[in-house]
Every structure is written in structure tokens, then in C-alpha cells.
Amino acid sequence: MQTRAYRIETAGGTPRLATIDLPDPGRGQVRMTIHASGLNFADLLTIQGRYQDIPEAPFTLGMEAAGEIEAVGDDVTELAPGDRVAVFGGCGGLAGAGLFDAARVVKLPDAMSYEHAAAFLVAYGTGHLALARRARLQPGETLLVTGAAGGVGLTAVEIGKLMGATVIAHARGADKLAIAREAGADHLIDDGDDLRARLLELGGVDVVYDAVGGDAFRAAFRACRPEARLLAIGFASGEVPQIPANHLMVKNLDVIGVYIGNYLKFRPEAFRDSVATLFGWYAEGRLKPHVSHVLPLDRVEDGLDLLRSRRSTGKVIITPCPLTRCRHAP
């Protein structure tokens, strides 16, 4: 079959929409119609050649997607044509259809739309693994989330609140802070304020969930309580902070790296356990993915520009459609 796809054809090349041939699934693979694909800041880094895990060209962009199984490889037994699924494939999501490793595919709760599913695995999976497994966040602790209105930040606000933390949201502008409040934030700090001073006024923090880096990380670092944990999620500011090890000693601090992509390689059961917990919370109505924009595949560059210019909140979703047919999400 043929499908449209947003592709990088050569290393360092500019991505473009193209029509590609998609073969039948091989061993351990599934082919799925893609109804929705979630954009991530990592897509921008991949295009720039700066991401830590870039496939060999040519490849189709798009880390996560949701849709319907069309066909399965001979040895795939837990998935079948017609199943509603999501995939954290790492690439391949910005297309009308794609081939993915079956081990990366999860079945969706009946009540979950494709748009919500495409907004779920990377952001919520990162938040839950980071806070529950890596930081061991406890009820009553104070959690700071930087970039709190973005894709991964907003989900961390939700998850932290569900886990019983007092949540401080740090974001740029009243509109973004209002969205963080709706997600459960107890305290709001504007990006233009003195972050360290405001955090100290609130008594300091036990866990920092930082996807920004740069000045935000440094200010949060200086406002940590003893035995605090700082989660390095990403560096949207463009600056990777340098950490003074002597300060770690004085306050007995932990700095913890979180990269969800590697969990599917060295501990996939941890990722699947997190997703099962999160899907349960979603089915109970305790999680509400925030999607600020839904755009068709031929406007994917507009979607990426929304991320680049920080004009989106939560997730930007792309809705591809295969050349062969177009079946819409329920």
C-alpha cells in the first residue's frame, strides 16, 4: 500500500511530505492506520540533528501515534486487525499508516479517543516514570514543575497532584498559568518572577521536574530542601545546566536523569506498568489530556512552529489520512 509521510530522506536534510510504499508487516511487527499523531519537542531536536536517538535516514518523523491495527506479522499473537491501539515508536508516526514493533504497541481503553491516545504515551509516561519510579514522590511533598503548560510539564502537574503532592507550576504568562491551575497546581509562578525567591517564600521544594534547564534549573536547585530530588527531563531553553557537585553534598541532593525512550529497551515492563496505571486513571476520569491544536498532516510544519514558538499548550495533534482510505476516530 502507499501512504503519505513526513520524511527526512538524507541525514541533515529538510523534512518534507512524500508518498511512500509500505510493505506487509514482518516478524514482530504490526501495520496500523494512523488516526492521530502527537508532536513532541524531541521532533524539533531530531530535525535539527540534536536529539540523542536519531534513526538512520531515510525515516518518517513522529514519536507517538494512535490508530487501528490493519495487519500483524506471523508471530504476533496479542494484537489483531481492528484493535484500537497507541504506539511509542520513536519515529514513523507522522504518516497515514506505519509499521511498528508490536512490543511498543498498547491497546487503548474503550473510552479513549485517538486524539487523547496520541497525546498520552510520551508525556504521561514520562511524568509517571519520573515521579513515581525515579523521584519516589511522596504525599505531602512539594513538587515544582517548570514549563508547566507544555506537553510533559502539564501532565506532571496532573500526576503530581494525584500522587498527593503540593504542586508549584512555573510557566510564562497568565494564560499558561491558568491552564496549569486547571490541571491541579496549588501555586503559580510566572517566568518573569524571581523563581528562587518565590520558591523560598513557599518553603522550598522536595522534587523538581525540569524540562527547561538553564536559569530555571539553577534557581530551582538553589531552592531545594535537604534530600530533594531534581529530575532532568529536557532542556527546552537550549542550555544544559552544569551542576556544582559540592552543593549536592551539602544538602544531600539527588539529580536524576529521565529518558523514557530507553525504558522500552532495557526495562519495558516498567513502561508498561506505568501505562497500565495511567490508563486506569484515565478510565476513572482522573486524567484529562489537554490538546491545544489539532491539524491535518499537510499542516505539520505549522504544528512544529507552534512548539518552536511556545504558542501551544499541552499537546499539538496531527491527524494523518492514508491515500488508500480515511477512517476517522470514534
Domains of the chain, with CATH numbers? Answer: 2-120+289-319 (3.90.180.10), 123-261 (3.40.50.720)
pLDDT at 322: 44
Which are the contacts of 249, defined by CB distance < 8 A and separation ≥ 6? Answer: none
Binning pLDDT at 50, 70 and 90, where does residue 321 land? low
CA 95/CA 297 separation, integer angstroms = 8
Flag the least confident range among 131-145, 196-210, 260-274, 293-307: 260-274
CA 324/CA 231 separation, integer angstroms = 44
Per-residue pLDDT at 100 exceeds 80 = yes
pLDDT digits (tens, 9 = 90+) for 24-61: 999 999 999 999 999 999 999 999 999 988 999 999 99
Which 3 state secondary structure label does DSSP give 170? strand
Flag the least confident range among 133-147, 178-192, 308-322: 308-322
Per-residue pLDDT at 290 exceeds 70 = yes
- Produce one character per residue of 75-104: b if its CB has 16 or more CB atoms within 10 Å, e if not: ebeebeeebbbbbbbbbbbbbbbbbbbbeb
Per-residue pLDDT at 248 exceeds 80 = yes
Per-residue pLDDT at 326 exceeds 70 = no
- Produce one character per residue of 194-223: b if its CB has 16 or more CB atoms within 10 Å, e if not: ebbebbeebebbbbbbbbbbbebbbbbbeb
What integer is the mean pLDDT of 12-21? Answer: 95
Binning pLDDT at 50, 70 and 90, where does residue 328 land? very low
pLDDT at 276: 96
pLDDT at 277: 97
Percent of the chain with pLDDT over 70: 97
pTM over 0.75: yes
Per-residue pLDDT at 329 exceeds 60 = no
What integer is the mean pLDDT of 172-189? Answer: 97
